[in-house]
Structure 1
Amino acid sequence: MVSIPENFARKLVRGEHPSILVEADATDPTAVGNAVGALSQLAQTALNRDLQGALQPLQGKPAPFDVQIHRRYNPEGITQYNIVPGLMGVILTMTMIMQTGLAMTRERERGTMENLLATPVRPFEVMAGKIVPYIMVGYIQVTLILLAARLIFGVPILGSVVLLYIVVLAFIAANLAVGLMFSTVAKNQMQAMQMTFFFFLPSMLLSGFMFPFRGMPEWAQNVGSLLPLTHFLRMVRGILLKGNGLMETLPHLWPIGLFLLTVVAIGLKRYRKTLD
């Protein structure tokens, strides 16, 4: 956000050397670093562009105004504030999908799935029974990461922890549903593991965890917007570093819910009550 003071032009004419305030979201220090560097030279660059012809000798002189930059939410540009919350989403994505995918595929390989299919349960009940235990595992992982983030790396927790755990629940469920869907496609554990990596790598590269999201090509941003990890990272960083509440979180929560419903529908459709 750029704030220009009142009577800016008049102060320039009077030679008062006014200042322009630029407030930048510094939750991602890498993304804001280049922008801050460019803004620092904004005044001089604009003058060098406009002072042409007879006014060219004036180039190189000090600019008549200053650009003051305020880094919001992470004034010191501490990298851990961005990386550690992101690791929460990356670890959950990897472990939740792989655990469920391998577990279901292993049961089919060993023949224990036959006993499960012989019971009078519906497909949704089978999937729910496989998901619930891993939700607890995911919460344990999140709790340990939060403790390490606060006690070791000094990451602030400005928002509601309850809201954070609600967001985590939706994200865990989405990833577990992906793992279950993969298990309905994979014929063995090796295929399930390969599918996990094929989903995990794009999620890590296109979500904004490794590279600034807005700095990626448009097609990459479009693909990244479909991935749950992209929205989860924004919610977690917003809750921890900005103190965001429910209203700021909802725009990123509903895409994860929509993704969850879509994947569950596909998984249920592929689920078979009988073995080939």
Structure 2
Amino acid sequence: MSVIAERAADRSEASEPRFGFWRRSFAMVIKEFIQLKRDRVSFGMIVMIPVMQLLLFGYAINTTPRNLPTAVLLQEDSDLARSILKALENTAYFHFTHEVHDVAEFDNLLQSGKVLFGVEIPRGFERAVRRGDHPALLVAADATDPVAASSALSALSVVVQTALEHDLFAGDPPSLPFEIRAHARYNPAASSRLNIVPGLVGTILTMTMLIFTALSVTREIERGTMESLLSMPIKPVEVMFGKIIPYVLVGFVQATLIVGIGVLLFGVPVRGSLTLLALLSTLFITTNLSIGYTFSTIVQNQLQAMQLSMMFFLPSILLSGFMFPFAGMPIWAQYIGEGLPLTHYVRIVRAIMLKGATLQNLQYDTIALIALMLFAMTIAVTRFRRTLD
């Protein structure tokens, strides 16, 4: 029996055409290129992901942010006060965007995140300086993002002293004729945990919610169950809500788990309302699920759904302010970031947990999440295929 098998193998090798192995391998190479050409989403990911990473890290990411939004409470309009404000602007760290008239407005801007710094020049400041009373100049910083605040605060006294020495003295001053009191609010110890853990809530929810729903419709198509679903008397919006609502509950459980671990293990405080945090977290979860469902109506298979989800997740994590200071990014990157749900949720969760912010402080970000959710839902319902292509 073995002799017959050996002879058959010999005949097979003898009939093997020359370069047959390489011809078949080359044919498979051509076949894969043709398939890749037809799979435009995968081909686009091959090109776009490295290009996006290069552009974002090269142009948008800045760990030493400048021109940070600053409010000023100017209780006296004097030459010295104007010189101090000009000197602060010349440092390129501070950009005065708001002039307030009372402490309540001053605190509200910091709590809502509209400004990162606040400068208060008290009444009678110049007179006290001329008398040598050594008055205090208050600089309050939103330290929920220590990276954005630390560089400006560390250079504050030296830069201001250099800038003002010619205005106050004929020669080199031994010290500043006034005291700069820098108050890092909400995270005075500059703990990275207080900054990262709240942001992780939104980052993890974004990744999981996008993937869950982006795979939902494509899984139905690949398994053949979409035909049965389409044969039923059900509307596209009903299909969408039926697929989204279960994952809202899953996302809420995830958010509760992450916040609970952050509080118990990492000591992250929750200074605001837990009810408000739960409501806005549910809004954020629904927004991401709507975007993921929209992706599932665009792609043709689960691989493309995963690729498109990663394509959306990459700018979300880089441009939302979770990893790098949002205020330090160029204007075009900030505009892109404003169109990402994670940007608004990172502000919301940090403001509620670390600052004790209320819904009034978070109106802009709440409205932005609602608008993004409705926009994604509209596209998803419009693109939902009533028949299989």
TM category, shorter: over 0.9
Paired residue secondary structure (1:247): coil
Counterpart CA distance in 1 for 2:201 and 2:268 is: 13
CA apart distance, 1:60: 5.5
Pick aligned residue for 2:196 from 67, 74, 83: 83
Deviations, residues 213-243 of structure 1 (Å, cap 9, x unaligned) = 0000010001101111111111111111111
Residue 351 of structure 2, aligned match among 238, 241, 255: 238
Alignment of 1:205-216 (within 5 A): 205-216=318-329
Q: What are the residue-to-residue correspondences of 1:80-119 with 2, within 5 Å?
A: 80-119=193-232
* 1:122 and 2:235 matched: yes
Letter in 2 for 1:157: V
SS at match of 1:246: coil
Which one of 225, 229, 237 corresponds to residue 342 of structure 2?
Answer: 229
Cα shift at 1:247: 1.1
Determine the C-alpha separation between the residues in 2 that align with 1:7 and 1:244: 33
Counterpart Cα distance in 1 of 2:162 and 2:232: 73
Contact 1:29 1:79 in 2 (8 A): yes
Aligned partners of 2:287 and 2:189: how far apart in 1?
34
Q: C-alpha distance in 1, partners of 2:123/2:249?
A: 55
Q: Does 1:44 align with 2:44?
A: no
Is residue 251 of structure 2 the alignment partner of residue 138 of structure 1? Answer: yes
- Relative to structure 1, the CA distance from residue 36 to residue 273 in structure 2 (aligned partners, 3 Å threshold; closer, same or farther) is same
Aligned equivalent of 1:195: 308
| Alpha-carbon distance, 1:38 to partner | 2.5
Conserved 8 A contact 1:179-1:196 = yes
- Matched residues in 1 for 2:122 and 2:359: separation? 33
Equivalent residue for 1:264? 377
- Decide whether the 8 Å contact of 1:43 with 1:65 is kept in 2: no
Greater displacement, 81-90 / 245-254:
245-254
Counterpart Cα distance in 1 of 2:158 and 2:326: 24
Question: 2:7 — aligned with what?
Answer: none
Cα deviation code 1:108-158 (max 9, x no counterpart): 111111111111000000000100111111011111111111111100001
2:143 aligned residue (26, 30, 39): 26
Deviations 1:163-208 (A, max 9, x none): 1111011111111011111111111111000100110000111110
Paired position in structure 2 for 1:9: 126
Count residues with an aligned counterpart: 272
TM-score (norm 2): 0.68
| Residue 148 (structure 1) aligned to one of 254, 261, 269 | 261
What residue identity is the alignment partner of 2:229?
L
Structure 2 CA distance for aligned equivalents of residues 137 and 197 of structure 1: 20
2:233 maps to amino acid: P
CA contact (8 A) 1:83 1:209 kept: yes
* Off by >6 Å, runs of 4+ in structure 1: none
Please, which runs of 5 or more residues in structure 2 have no aligned partner? 1-117
2 and 51 in structure 1: CA distance in 2 versus 1, 3 angstrom threshold: closer
What is the CA distance between 1:75 and its match in structure 2? 1.2
| Structure 1: distance between partners of 2:164 and 2:296 | 62
Q: Flag structure 1 segments of 5+ consecutive residues without an equivalent.
A: none
8 Å Cα contact 1:135-1:169 kept in structure 2: yes
Residues 216 and 293 in structure 2, CA contact (< 8 A), matched pair in contact too: no
Offset, 1:51: 7.5
Aligned position for 1:70:
183
Letter matched to residue 134 of structure 1: Y
The structure with the larger Rg is: 2
After TM superposition, the score normalised by the length of structure 1 is 0.95
Give the match's secondary structure for 1:62.
coil
